């Protein structure tokens, strides 16, 4: 049980400011009197705090509301563009960044190409992207939210292990925060994506959600009771390295038969290469005639052209993921599962395989209300999620749509 | 964001009563003045509430504390035995029940044998056990907490599906509550065990814990952020029916290759029978010479006598569970995993197999701080957990040790 400690005057003031700002944000335009009524604060306190918010530009007066007898009251609301947040997605092939306003509207996007796992170059690319976004910003910047691959300690901003970028125990949060003099929040990219899906696609109306991001790596972001769940060691959702095949192939993590070795886009592309080399009649062999390896898009094209080999590879990858999802369903009984990432270009044949396998391997009463759906095709969900996490930490605001 | 709604006088009163009672419970013996200071309530309100608690026996005066200048203050505390709770464990072979006081001390236990899945008889046995405990009670009874197998909706007290007792959509909470005129809380037994382990063995000092109960069935109870996690459909932790073997054997749930078909005590005993029939030289064949099947205790005895067949069976069962635990670790990154249930009589050889497999199949950074331990051998953990859940719901008290 947490007892209210004796608050200092300053803490009380900060608490009241936060409460008023949240009320304006969630319920505005709203009158000062209604804010006082809803928060239990005195009219004087509310007026003082609102005066501050007006003077620093976070709030604005927005005309008059209906009278309830006396003079019709002035309504106050939060200015969505009074602050911007830098939201980053340290994605595959390129790092993407955006300027996002306090309602989660994307104002500007930018990109920085990144090739292969060069840890130092990846840091430099992150800096360059932030620099350009800050230079382009027309509003005061509240802070920087970063969605990064790997096991991320969100409290310290340390990336414990990110295989893809060859980062280990990298204090990215501190480095960025010191370099740019701005509050910085670093989260695992799948977790940021789950928060983005939860707030911006599902409107924060459900309790629990799992978002699974499948690219060259696989990670799940878990939202429980409306909050991102991290686990004791910040590694919750690291399902890509659950070992699913005995005597499986070598994984980037140094072990064998991890989920990523069958279900990731990397695994799919490798399987396509092998198939193209072994069977020149498959549509997957077409790129080889130009001296190239098949890409994920080639696999999709072959699939759409009715190539059986491509279908076999895609279904195998989907089934492996479905099996992992059955484990998630049995463990968490979460009814909203959203699939994201590059792999979703494979469409229905892949999704059907995922769903079939997840259902087949789960207890009836647990799956009957479970939906497994493709997330939005937009690429901005990690940026939205990481900027929302920064806003929530800095101003206790929870944007949603 | 949840805004404080306009509270009625009655709600305020109930809220204040709860706050004072919790403060006495968590921090008592304590003076009225300190309660007022810590809760922010006025001295008058605290004195009024304490007077009520004294008159209904929940609290008592306990001498005087050190003076802080003036008269030394009278200290007040909660009377642990002012109320008892009936805690039930609808276990295998027998239903167990206890009278538990407000501190989680067991005052009396009783038992009712139950054989096989006869739904109606199981209900009758539950009633008989409660009747005897109520007849023996010397204190007012706060309510009845029940730990039951299967998927349990704790909000409605409906057991959605309990294969072992052949119960489906059984409104056990309502039946018991109406029959005995007492508040009743029904929880899944693994979940109750997890709460019991969390509060009474770990002292509620950690954030997250998973307790896995392995008997003829297998279930996990998941405590996250100090609270039992249920999932959207009340089925969180139903890991026994995650399918782990392709072309596996038929499970009681009607599907094939579930974890229970290899890792449960039922599966171990079946494997021992088959081995005894096939190989008369194994120690497992000894019971057959008396016309009997080997039991779990026979398997343990054979194991301790160095029988290789017994070891093979036990290790296979342990490895299957370890594989499921690796999935839990990858999903939740929970660092405290406690193993409970009849299977734990198999001791170290089984535990080693569980641990080895869980470690082998998990990502290094996720398992390095993870402990997988046997829970207490006491059989009362489900009764303690279910009575604690009832206390928390009725009085908002959280017993711990």
Assess B18–A contact: CB distance below 8 Å, yes or no. Answer: no
Alpha helix ranges (H) inside B161-247: 172-180, 189-196
260-279 of A, contacting B, C-beta below 8 A: none
CA distance A309 to chain B (A): 23
Cα gap B301→A365, rounded to integer Å: 38
Burial class (CB in 10 A: 0-12, 13-18, 19+), B252: middle
CA distance B311 to B283: 11
Q: Given a cut of 90, is residue B29 above it in pLDDT?
A: yes
Helix (H) or strand (E) holding B223: strand B218-224
User: What element of type H or E holds A127?
Assistant: helix A119-136
Residue A6 confidence class, pLDDT cut points 50, 70, 90: low
Confidence band, pLDDT 50/70/90 cuts, at residue A348: very high
Mutate to test the interface with B, among A23, A36, A230, A232 (most CBs of B within 10 A): A232
The token pair at A159 is: 């990336």
Is 80 exceeded by the pLDDT of residue B4? no
Q: What integer is the mean pLDDT of B354-382?
A: 88
- A204 within 8 A of A336, measured Cβ to Cβ: no
Could you give the ipTM of this predicted complex? 0.86
Per-residue pLDDT, B7:
55
Give pLDDT tens digits for B209-220: 999 999 999 999
| pLDDT at residue A49 is higher than 70 | yes
* Chain B environment of A222 (Cβ under 8 Å): 331-332
CB-CB contact of A229 with A222 (8 Å): yes
Q: Is the Cβ of A395 closer than 8 Å to some Cβ of chain B?
A: no
To probe the interface with B, which of A11, A78, A366, A396 has the most B CB atoms within 10 Å? A366
> Average model confidence (pLDDT) for chain A?
91
Provide the chain B residues 293-352 that lie in CB contact (below 8 A) with chain A.
Answer: 323-324, 326-328, 330-336
Q: Does B151 touch chain A (CB under 8 A)?
A: yes
Return the pLDDT at B378. Answer: 66
Position A8 scores a pLDDT of 66
Does residue B107 sit in helix, strand or coil? strand
* pTM for the structure as a whole: 0.89
Asked if the model's pLDDT at residue A378 lies above 70, the reply is no
Nearest CA in chain B to A397: B1
Rounded CA-CA distance A121/A130 in Å is 14
Judged by DSSP in three states, B246 sits in coil
User: Is the CB of B160 inside 8 Å of chain A's CB atoms?
Assistant: yes
Which of B238, B255, B361 is the closest to A333 by Cβ? B238
Closest CA to A157 of A401, A393, A400, A399: A393
Rounded to a whole number of angstroms, the distance from the CA of B254 to the nearest CA of chain A is 9
Predicted confidence at residue B6, as pLDDT, reads 52
In chain A, count of helices (H) and strands (E)? 14, 16
| CA distance between the termini of chain B | 34
Instruction: Tell me if B38 and A4 make a contact (CB, 8 A cut-off).
Output: yes
Q: Which two tokens stand for residue A145?
A: 């939210």
Task: Tell me the pLDDT tens digit for each residue of B138-195.
Answer: 999 999 999 999 899 999 999 998 888 889 999 999 999 999 999 999 999 999 999 9
Q: What is the pLDDT of residues A184-227, one digit of tens each?
A: 999 999 999 999 999 998 887 888 999 999 999 999 999 999 99
- CA distance to partner chain B, nearest, from residue A131 (Å): 33
> Is B335 in contact with A233 (Cβ distance < 8 A)?
yes
C-alpha distance from B288 to closest chain A C-alpha (Å)? 36
Cβ partners under 8 Å of residue A373, min gap 6 = A337, A338, A339
Residue A199 near chain B (CB below 8 Å): no
pLDDT at position A369: 87
C-alpha neighbours within 13 Å on the C-beta side of residue B277? 7
Q: Please say if the pLDDT value at position A316 is more than 60.
A: yes
Write out pLDDT tens, residues A144-199: 999 999 899 999 999 998 888 889 999 999 999 999 999 999 999 999 999 999 99
Question: DSSP character for A219?
Answer: E
Distance from CA of B306 to the nearest CA of A (A): 28
Residue A108 dihedral angles phi and psi, to the nearest 5°: -165, 145
Mean pLDDT of chain B: 91
The model's pLDDT over A262-273, given as tens digits with 9 standing for 90+, comes to 999 999 999 999
Alpha-carbon gap, residue A113 to A247, rounded angstroms: 36
**pLDDT given at position B8:** 66
Q: Tell me if A330 and B253 make a contact (CB, 8 A cut-off).
A: no
Q: Give per-residue pLDDT as tens, B308-334.
A: 999 999 999 999 999 999 999 999 999
Task: Determine which of A242, A259, A334, A369 to mutate to test the interface with B (most B C-beta atoms within 10 Å).
Answer: A242
Q: What is the pLDDT of residue A2?
A: 41
- Residue A356: its chain B contacts at CB < 8 A? none
Q: What is the percent of chain B with per-residue pLDDT over 90, rounded to a whole number?
A: 71
Average pLDDT over residues A228-236: 92
Q: Alpha carbon of B330 to those of A132, A141, B186: distances in Å?
A: 37, 36, 30
Evaluate if residue B371 carries a pLDDT over 50.
yes
Q: How far apart are CA A77 and CA A58, in angstroms?
A: 9
A-chain CB neighbours of B360 within 8 Å are: 243
Mean pLDDT, range A24-49, rounded to an integer: 92
């Amino acid at each position: 049980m947490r007892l209210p400690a004796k608050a200092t005057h300053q803490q009380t003031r900060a608490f009241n400011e936060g409460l008023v700002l949240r009320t304006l944000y969630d319920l505005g335009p709203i009158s000062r009197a209604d804010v006082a009524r809803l928060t239990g604060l005195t009219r004087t306190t509310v007026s003082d705090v609102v005066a501050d918010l007006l003077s620093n530009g976070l709030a604005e007066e927005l005309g008059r509301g209906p009278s309830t007898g006396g003079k019709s009251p002035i309504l106050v609301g939060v200015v969505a563009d009074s602050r911007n947040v830098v939201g980053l997605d340290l994605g595959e092939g390129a790092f993407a960044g955006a300027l996002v306003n306090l309602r989660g509207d994307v104002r500007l996007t930018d990109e920085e190409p990144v090739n292969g796992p060069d840890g130092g170059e990846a840091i430099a690319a992150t800096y360059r992207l932030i620099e350009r976004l800050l230079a382009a910003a027309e509003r005061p910047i509240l802070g920087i939210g970063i969605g990064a691959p790997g096991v991320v300690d969100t409290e310290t901003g340390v990336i414990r292990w990110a295989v893809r970028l060859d980062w280990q125990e990298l204090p990215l949060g501190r480095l960025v925060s010191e370099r740019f003099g701005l509050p910085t929040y670093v989260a695992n990219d799948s977790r940021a994506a789950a928060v983005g899906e939860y707030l911006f696609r599902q409107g924060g109306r459900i309790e629990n959600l799992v978002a699974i991001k499948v690219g060259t790596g696989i990670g799940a972001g878990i939202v429980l009771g409306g909050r991102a769940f991290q686990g004791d060691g910040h590694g919750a959702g690291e399902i890509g390295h659950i070992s699913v095949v005995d005597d499986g192939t070598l994984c980037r993590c140094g072990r064998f038969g991890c989920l990523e070795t069958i279900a990731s886009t990397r695994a799919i592309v490798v399987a396509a290469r092998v198939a193209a080399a072994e069977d020149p009649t498959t549509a997957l062999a077409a790129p080889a005639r130009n001296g190239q390896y098949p890409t994920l898009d080639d696999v999709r094209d072959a699939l759409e052209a009715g190539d059986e080999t491509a279908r076999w590879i895609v279904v195998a990858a989907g089934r492996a993921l479905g099996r992992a999802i059955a484990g998630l369903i049995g463990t968490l009984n979460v009814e909203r599962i959203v699939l994201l990432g590059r792999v979703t270009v494979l469409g229905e044949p892949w999704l059907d395989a995922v769903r079939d396998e997840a259902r087949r391997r789960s207890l009836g009463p647990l799956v009957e209300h479970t939906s497994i759906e493709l997330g939005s095709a937009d690429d901005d969900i990690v940026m939205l999620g990481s900027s929302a996490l920064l806003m929530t930490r800095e101003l206790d605001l929870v944007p949603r749509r």
